[in-house]
Structure 1
Amino acid sequence: MTIRTETEVDHFGNTTRKADLGVIAGGPLGYDDERITTTTYAHNLDRWIIGLPVEVNTTDEGGAFVSRTRNEYDNQAGGVGNRGLLTAEEAFTDAGTGLITRYLYDAFGNVTTVRDPEYGSGGHERVYGYDATFHTYVETETIKVGNGSSDLVASATYDKGGGVITSSTDFNGNVSTYQYDSFFRLVGIVKPGDTPGAPTQVFEYRPGDPVRKLVYSYSPVGDLALSVSAADLVVSEVGVKSREEAGGGTFDIVQITDGMGHKLGTIEEGATAGQWVYKDVKRYTSRGQERDSYLPFFGGSPSFTQPPPDGARVTCFLDALGRKVSCINPPETAGGARTATRTDYLPLVTVLFDEEDNDPGSDHFNTPHVQYQDGLERLVGVDESIDGETWPTRYAYDLLDNLTGIVDSQGNRKAMSYDGLSRLTFMDDPDRGIMSYTYDDASNLIQTEDAKGQVIVMTYDGANRILSEDYLDAAGIAPDVSYFYDEPVTVPAGDGSMATSSQVKGKLSRVIDLSGAEVFSYDARGRTAWKIKQVPDPFTGVLSSYQFAFGYDSLDRLRTLGYPDGDSVGYTYNARNLPESIVGGPGGHIISAMSYIASGQLASIAYGNGVNTAYAYDPRLRLRKLDTVGPGGAGLIDFDYTFDGASNITRIDDNRAAVPVSDPRHNTQVFAYDDLYRLTGVQYPSLGEGIAYSYDRIGNMLGKTSGIVHDENDLSITNLGAMSYGG
């Protein structure tokens, strides 16, 4: 097999022509993967400006248009002045239609204004202001919304000596400040609601020297404390402390890297004092490639230690090119066998064997997925194996790498078309029919039309935010949906008072649609503080308001949720930053307690009604056991789960003592799958019956048959018989 790429350069080393000729000999499938890119450049030899592309054209091998970009420098079409500043960029949707973005500069070469292709219709302009001392730092950014709307202005201040931002102010005037040490490393972020003495986030740096066993610890102002480490492996640490409540404690994380910059893992604060959670722990080969990836585990210290030799992990082996050829999972059961995946690489073909494909004792042995690539490394085909047959799916692309066609294994075709900016303009879908899409010059979607001729028209403001949707239907409502931004809205709150939204600059403040209206208000961090849903009275048409209120902590976690009827619930979190309880309801708690294993999966949950559920997992963190007991200790659920190597559930055993095997409520189930892991059968040993399923090549269910009698409204829900599909 041969893939060919040709490159031509000019005397200055600039690439003037690149021909990706794709597969020219020996490919397994027929390809259309020839792409030609030509580039012309502007030069000003007096200024030694020699590498600015003026025009970039992409065509197929026959010269047909694919894409084109034309650049203008120093306001000189086709050339360049003495500054080499990009002043216009024209992107073509087709061979003759270009959309121009323009750039203005100050005397120091800074971009001061950007105007998108819709400039001139109101807005569509961003203006940047720089510091008066060095003319380097962007101090203001102004978004011109246009059409009578107020501008949106954000600003920042700097430590000009260190070149770092010391504060930022959003569109609503809310200020966040940033703290640095003497090395100008970020050591603190103070968001609205927190204080410089108790920042929202604190960062601590502790570089390690593994050769001399030294650890360098710095105070927030950069003072050094040097210590000798007794650890076998000296690592570098970055500590992150995130404020939980204003002025309160923090949730602590330590990020670990080695001397080569490899990420060794993250250590997070645990749920109980002295407990820490090791996550994303890695071990690397001598070539710096990831070999072992450990499942999360508990530790007793925030200081990094090597993971235990018997720790549950995924071990991967790589070939000389760094590609994974095999990955071995943790044991299926404690102390049990380890399953593995395998990947075979051939020229432009990848063969993927999952755990069942790789097991000679499995019914699914040697039924891999085969993936095909073209000469541009795009996925062009997938072969699936089932019952000795091969079911192919094929994909096609244009030369901008947009997906243009799908042919499934039953011959159904889906086609898409795009313009020169990779915007979807046409789709012929077996389910939806023909769809067309139209855009404005700023690439906002302004019209869609479906197979039934239904048209939706959209409009946008000068900041390219959607303003309206009009369905152009017989109802004649224009528009059907309206969106409002930036301006506060006053509406009835639903309790006899009026509510006025705040902090809405740069935010969606109101939506009016066919169901009524919705108004939004935000806090100083941009989080939704409340929303009011207004729905029309079915008799009078007058809008009735229903308010929802939200409260947060410094860690941006939802703490309270208020409902329109005055009810509310509260959320608490454990020291590990995971949900612990939900307070509310007639009993005082909806959920009174939750606990977790190291991976963050639930270990137990206690409900407010006295019901308790416990979860247990296998070494691969798959649910192994589920127990639920009632307030008096009565067993409600006692299930054991069994999986195959590919993590399909093969059996659920009902162990409830109060429900013997002879009881129709006994819920032991045994599952069977085909080679694509579609459920083909379930057996109920207590009934001596089961349900059988069959499918076509693309996953549509063709049949559901059973001898189990289970009717609802005189219709069987277990024995549906044969099914067919149109289209």
Structure 2
Amino acid sequence: MDLAIQRSYNSIDDPFATTSAWTDFEYSPVGLGWTMHMGRVLRGSNKALCSSSWTVASANPVFEKSDGSRQIFYEQAFDGHLTWMTKDFWRAKCIEGVFIVQSPDGHSYQMTKKGNSFGAVSSKQTAYYPERITDRNGNWFNISYQFLENGVMAMTKVATSDGRGLHFNYVDSKLSKVVDVGNSREWEYTLAPGAGSRNYLTAVKRPDGHSWNYSYEATPGVGSLSKVSYPSGGTIDYRYGHVDFLAGTPRSRQSTVVTGKIAKAGSEESQSGNWNYVYRVAANELPVNRVGTSVTHSYSMPPDDRSQVNITQVTDPAGKVVEHYHAGYHSVRQAPTSVGIYLGRTSDHENVLLAYQDFVISSQIDVVAQNYTSNSFNPVARVPRIESKSRVGERFTLTKSDFDEYGNARKVVEVGTNFADRTYTRENTLSYHVDTDKWLINSIASAVMVSEGERHETKRQFDANGNVVLESVAGAVSSATYHSTGDVATKINALGQLDSFSDYHRGIPKKETYADGSTVSRSVDDAGNVISETDARGNTTKFTYDMLNRVTSVAKPSGAVISVAWTPNTRVVERGGMTDATSFDGLGRTLRREASAPGEVPVWVNYSHNVMGELIHQSYPNSMMGTGYVYDGLSRVIATLNGNPVRTTNAQHINYTSYGNLYVVNQDSTGRASIDYYRAYSDPDKRERVRLAAGESVNGSLFAIADVRQTRNILGQLTAVSMDGKTRGYGYDSRYFLTSKTDPEIGTTTFERDAIGNLISQRIGTGPATIYAYDSRNRLTDISYPSSEDAAVPNAPAVKNTYDANGNLVVSLSGDISRSFSYDENNKITKESLSVGASTQTLGYAYDSNEALASITYPSGNQVSYEPDAFGRARAVLPYIHSVDYHPNGMPSQISYANGVVSTMGINSRQWPSDLTYGQGSSRFVNSTYVYDPVGNMVNINELADGVYARAFAYDKLDRLITEATTKVNRQYWYDRTGNLTYLRTPTGLNTYTYDTATGLLTGVAGGFSRSFEYDRAGNVSANGYNTFGHDRANNLRCTDCGTALEKLHDYDGSNMRAQTVAAQGTTQYLHDSRGLLMQTMESSLRKELIYLGWRQVAERSIEMN
């Protein structure tokens, strides 16, 4: 149960311009207009809280939530008790004189503390406060109050059932301090006198010593908040005006409204933005519909007659206009209970229409009905029934119906359409778990989703406190149990695997025990922060926090401590010698991130946002050039500017995006274009691709070179992908686990799944199955392969994996080949060994205090040292490379080899490689420059050393290579509509590539050279006209020229990395690291060690063996 104290603000009506008087306003210990409480009930001071039987609801209690919003309680008859209901289904009961308020999620408020009275003399109200709040699981808050010197009731203490506590201190009837008792944190409040001889909140100092500041200097709008200043320096200024929303009614009067807002994120003009608000009040009534005694009004978006609705026009800093429409007093004269409902909004990009379902909740006469007519209208709860969003060429509609008495829709239909060739419909049927004693009325018990003949069902069962104890999702069943506090005690999945959670503190389990018996333990402080966590291997990570519960340090089991320092505008992370500093603007948006270390060139990236918070530019590292973004009125990107200097509209390449008609069109400045067709139901921003056509823009239209169509099931999973007559199909079982895949090349592969979706068998066609097994943590432990398709090909051996308590793979056995791993306290690999028969080869790893790779020790004992810098970049590969320098984007700029060769690499303004040199002394034996097209395809390699390696390239609009020209030869490439290479013209002639019309597999090459290809059932090449190839059922190449004198046999480890080749010439063993990089080859007389800088091989060491 979260302990949240909310301070809310409602601006007052200007006493100098409205009928309000200073004496009408409540004296608040937090300042005029502000409230701070945990919910309260207001009722006329001349009426007892539980009094009833009033004809008109104007005498009823009013519930004010902690956020300041208010709802009237209307009388109901319920189980013999006096009961009230609000229009959003909060309930109140008077039981033995105690007024109890219940929220729809089961929270109960006992309003037993009578407070002070306030308001105009003719309408004095008394406030009643909760002394206890209890959630559905029995957790509670106890709240204490006192009358201050000025007679105002105020909170003094909050105590919770789990030991948390808050104290509120007051000086001269003003809040001075809120104290988090168990954590020694304080929030200090400053109030000052102002207009109307009232006190105004001017500052709130956080526990970190930084403050929010407030001003009240608006004119008009005297007494209302005029400026909010963030601790980070941002500000929001408010302007006010006056509007008579009740014009033409007996209660006509001016109301104070916001007419403008200026947000400033910093001192620069670009960091400031102005919002303007204009109000128009309805003068005429909407069209009336009568059915018997029922009266409704009809409307559309945009309204047919703007005089029939209240309009709020909002213009943002970019000049984009959104108009919001409400039912005014004159809009619904004959149905006045509809006054104030939100009808929808319009803009240049989207129109939104809203409609509602009404539920009469009381026989009383609603308050609003008295403003315009003498007719009696009962109060209604109004719940959304229709939400329709119309955009260019498309509409998305959510329709709810078949409501129960609590406003829950039992049927929900979602429709997305482009009004032409595509309409998507999805229907949901819902049932609810309702507990009227605890007042749990919105929990979904079952949901059946149906679309295009498919069905997906979710079912839930609940305990007596409304916690989900059983859930079936498409037939996959899981269950849970709970502690008395409502915290999860156990979770059991569909396989029956049980995880338990115990010893909770502040809602966090201090111990987790998993199905295999492994445990994770934690220490938790009184603020709910995890201060240490010990993993299943017994290694502990420790954390510290500041007074705002932000992490300030992380001490891993080994290595340097990570420290984090915060200011209102910065976050600085330090580890070892590295500093990672992020700066924020005054409204909390990232401005810059810079990594630095002693002796290193800082690396930084700048970010620019508009005042609406949209990212409009992100620089390349250490550059004022980067990527810019332009948005439409719905915050969708409509232009991406690549190679864009900051604060300009110039760019080296621009991609334009437009939206509508259930597709997204992308066109760039080079003529490339694509149309991304999608399906969506009621939410246009939840899109699922159904087709992608790509090619060239010709006279504003797309000339498609490739067209891929996709079909999806009810959950959005792919069921088919088609291109030029070839289709890949995907099948699912009733639980929506993937159970089959049909490929043109090999036919259907079937997958058998266990109860939670783990793959337990796989077979192609009617062939034998590969079997998989898992441990109780669902980690793959065993793979059993069937015999090879060709009896001459060795069978794939069974694989057996074992893991440590943290889930790290420690041993993988594949026949007589074994891989083993060791890990440090931070779960980084320190050793990995490969054993092939009697031969064992081991790689060792060491790390610096920042966990960057410091060295690798090869099986020969040769150690390669990387001398990582504070950023974790290798500064050497000793003894082979003496130094490595870097560009800010992480690409090497210079590599100095031990033999005196120096390689330099430059980058262009978009930070792509621009030049490469290799030389020794003044000699350059490689001197290349690179030229790119605007999308990054390399179009020229200019070789300045001798010209031999110069190249020129051209591409089609799908970025496929179509021509290649060198100093000696030219080549041309052609493709079919599925992307297969069909022709290759070389100086020796035209090569033709042919494919099987059914499978799409390459069958042969004819022309300058010829090949013919055969395949096994898994689609692996089994012959090419010169050699034969044998694959086992793990799809590993086990032999070439199988069964002949030229035969080569290959063995693999459990990760399918080649470990050994046996041929007539001898045996070669291969050692790969865990990334898959080949680190060593070993023959009977020669060992080769391959040395890497990152993923790039930079050296090779040969060692002769006796």
TM range (shorter): 0.7 to 0.9
1:682 and 1:690 in contact (8 A); partners too: yes
Matched with 1:22 is: 416
CA distance in 2, matches of 1:90, 1:619: 55
Does residue 1:521 correspond to 2:822, yes or no? yes
Matched with 2:472 is: 90
Does residue 1:370 correspond to 2:652, yes or no? no
Number of equivalences:
592
CA displacement at 1:181 relative to structure 2: 3.0
SS for the counterpart of 2:875 is strand
1:144 and 1:152 in contact (8 A); partners too: yes
Does residue 1:671 correspond to 2:953, yes or no? yes
Does residue 1:647 correspond to 2:647, yes or no? no
CA RMSD of aligned residues (A): 3.0
* Aligned equivalent of 1:702, options 982, 1004, 1012: 982
SS for the counterpart of 1:25 is coil
One-letter code of the match for 1:517? Answer: S
Matched with 1:156 is: 522
SS for the counterpart of 1:581 is coil
Give per-residue Cα distances to partners, 1:484-520, cap 9 Å, x unaligned.
Answer: 233xxxxxxxxxxxxxxxxx55432211113511222
One-letter code of the match for 1:411? Answer: G
* Aligned equivalent of 1:103, options 480, 483, 489: 480
1:155 and 1:170 in contact (8 A); partners too: yes
* Aligned equivalent of 1:57, options 437, 448, 454: 448
SS for the counterpart of 1:46 is coil
One-letter code of the match for 1:594? Answer: V
Give per-residue Cα distances to partners, 1:18-62, cap 9 Å, x unaligned.
Answer: 2123327224xx46x32211110011101101112111111125x
Matched with 1:304 is: none
1:3 and 1:24 in contact (8 A); partners too: no
CA distance in 2, matches of 1:178, 1:387: 56
- In structure 2, list runs of 5 or more residues that go unmatched: 1-392, 682-686, 991-1004, 1020-1106
CA distance in 2, matches of 1:465, 1:255: 38
SS for the counterpart of 2:670 is coil
CA distance in 1, matches of 2:963, 2:1013: 19
CA displacement at 1:135 relative to structure 2: 7.3
Q: TM-score, normalised by structure 2?
A: 0.51
CA displacement at 1:169 relative to structure 2: 0.7
1:705 and 1:720 in contact (8 A); partners too: no
CA displacement at 1:7 relative to structure 2: 2.1
Does residue 1:263 correspond to 2:590, yes or no? yes
Matched with 1:177 is: 542
* Aligned equivalent of 2:810, options 509, 514, 520: 509
1:355 and 1:646 in contact (8 A); partners too: no
* Aligned equivalent of 1:315, options 628, 644, 665: 628
SS for the counterpart of 1:368 is strand
* Aligned equivalent of 2:707, options 392, 398, 406: 392
Higher relative contact order (CA 8 A, sep 6+): 1
2:418 and 2:662 in contact (8 A); partners too: no
CA distance in 1, matches of 2:670, 2:811: 53
CA distance in 2, matches of 1:329, 1:285: 18
1:701 and 1:723 in contact (8 A); partners too: no
CA displacement at 1:204 relative to structure 2: 0.2
Does residue 1:72 correspond to 2:461, yes or no? yes
Residues 5 and 158 (structure 1 numbering): CA distance in 2 closer, same or farther, change over 3 Å?
closer
Matched with 1:682 is: 964
Give per-residue Cα distances to partners, 1:391-428, cap 9 Å, x unaligned.
Answer: 422111001100111111x2111111123443111111
CA displacement at 1:140 relative to structure 2: 0.7
Greater mean alpha carbon deviation, residues 45-54 or residues 472-481: 472-481
CA distance in 1, matches of 2:761, 2:584: 50
Residues 271 and 183 (structure 1 numbering): CA distance in 2 closer, same or farther, change over 3 Å?
closer
1:690 and 1:708 in contact (8 A); partners too: no
Give per-residue Cα distances to partners, 1:628-671, cap 9 Å, x unaligned.
Answer: 113x4421211111112122211111111xx3x5xxxx122221
- Correspondence 1:34-433 to 2 at 5 A: 34-60=425-451, 64-74=453-463, 81=464, 83-92=465-474, 98-119=475-496, 124-131=497-504, 136-145=507-516, 151-160=517-526, 162-194=527-559, 200-207=561-568, 236-243=569-576, 250-269=577-596, 272=599, 275-279=601-605, 281-297=606-622, 311-330=624-643, 338-357=652-671, 367-376=672-681, 377-385=687-695, 389-390=703-704, 391-408=706-723, 410-433=724-747
CA displacement at 1:173 relative to structure 2: 1.2
One-letter code of the match for 2:631? Answer: L
One-letter code of the match for 2:455? Answer: V
Matched with 1:223 is: none
* Aligned equivalent of 2:926, options 634, 637, 650: 637
Matched with 1:612 is: 902
Matched with 2:314 is: none
Residues 271 and 622 (structure 1 numbering): CA distance in 2 closer, same or farther, change over 3 Å?
farther
1:704 and 1:719 in contact (8 A); partners too: no
SS for the counterpart of 2:866 is strand
SS for the counterpart of 1:69 is strand
Residues 515 and 638 (structure 1 numbering): CA distance in 2 closer, same or farther, change over 3 Å?
farther
- Correspondence 1:427-506 to 2 at 5 A: 427-451=741-765, 453-473=767-787, 480-486=798-804, 506=807
CA distance in 2, matches of 1:420, 1:265: 49
CA displacement at 1:354 relative to structure 2: 2.5
CA distance in 2, matches of 1:639, 1:321: 46
CA distance in 1, matches of 2:954, 2:1007: 17
Give per-residue Cα distances to partners, 1:313-359, cap 9 Å, x unaligned.
Answer: 32222111212222233279xx99733221222321222113311xx
Give per-residue Cα distances to partners, 1:426-453, cap 9 Å, x unaligned.
Answer: 1111233211111111221111111361
Matched with 1:539 is: none
Over alpha carbons, which structure has the higher Rg?
Answer: 2
* Aligned equivalent of 2:855, options 546, 551, 560: 560
CA displacement at 1:170 relative to structure 2: 0.9
Residues 568 and 709 (structure 1 numbering): CA distance in 2 closer, same or farther, change over 3 Å?
farther
CA distance in 1, matches of 2:954, 2:722: 29
CA distance in 1, matches of 2:1014, 2:398: 46
Give per-residue Cα distances to partners, 1:181-240, cap 9 Å, x unaligned.
Answer: 34433211111135xxxx520000111xxxxxxxxxxxxxxxxxxxxxxxxxxxx00000
Give per-residue Cα distances to partners, 1:285-314, cap 9 Å, x unaligned.
Answer: 23221112211117xxxxxxxxxxxx2132
1:331 and 1:620 in contact (8 A); partners too: no
SS for the counterpart of 1:682 is strand
CA distance in 1, matches of 2:1009, 2:400: 62
Does residue 1:12 correspond to 2:406, yes or no? yes
CA distance in 1, matches of 2:524, 2:414: 46
Residues 709 and 591 (structure 1 numbering): CA distance in 2 closer, same or farther, change over 3 Å?
farther
CA distance in 2, matches of 1:383, 1:181: 53
Give per-residue Cα distances to partners, 1:692-721, cap 9 Å, x unaligned.
Answer: 1111112211121222699xxxxx999558
CA distance in 2, matches of 1:505, 1:411: 48
One-letter code of the match for 1:154? Answer: V
SS for the counterpart of 1:255 is strand
1:704 and 1:722 in contact (8 A); partners too: no
One-letter code of the match for 2:414? Answer: D
One-letter code of the match for 2:741? Answer: M
